[in-house]
Amino acid sequence: MTNERLSFKEMCARFDVTPRTLRHYEYIELLAPEREGRSRFYGPRDIARMTLILRGRRFGFSLEEIRQWLELREERGTQEQLRVAIDAAARQMDLLKEQREELDVTIQDLEALYQEMSRILAKS
């Protein structure tokens, strides 16, 4: 890890998040920036955690699940964290595949309805 430190504004820009989001992650103790007066600085640990938080959110995991993984890593190490994450990823992939199948059916139904309404409108 590098000794990189980001200010609050830099952290928001780096991860393309709003100040409100960043403050929320601090409030729920996913991030713990260093404080110097009223300024906050995020070190390598927070930068790595933010990367994992956003990746987890992108894949549809809850903040509570992400918190548990982050805590697990600190308490039991990377191997245990990976075991738990692999199980969660398998479940999430199954869920996403199921949702995709449902979306495919919905899109087909909507396309059929669209075609039918277009034909009716063309006849009138």
pLDDT at 26: 95
pLDDT at 13: 98
pLDDT at 108: 98
Give me the tens of pLDDT residue by residue for the chain, a chain 124 residues long. 568 999 999 999 999 999 999 999 999 999 999 999 999 999 999 999 999 999 999 999 999 999 998 888 888 878 888 888 899 999 999 999 999 999 999 999 999 999 999 999 999 8
* DSSP 3-state of 85: helix
Reference 58, options 92, 90, 7, 20; nearest CA is 92
Q: What angle do CA 51, 5, 29 make, to 5 degrees?
A: 55
pLDDT at 72: 86
Query: Domain 6-95: which topology?
Result: Multidrug-efflux Transporter Regulator; Chain: A; Domain 2 (1.10.1660)
Reference 70, options 28, 21, 12; nearest CA is 28
pLDDT at 1: 53
pLDDT at 2: 67
Task: List CB contacts of 48: < 8 A, sequence separation 6 or more.
Answer: 1
- The residue extents of the domains of the chain are 6-95
pTM confidence score: 0.77
Helix-strand-coil percent breakdown of the chain, rounded to 5? 75, 5, 20
Half-sphere exposure of 38 (CA within 13 A, CB side): 0
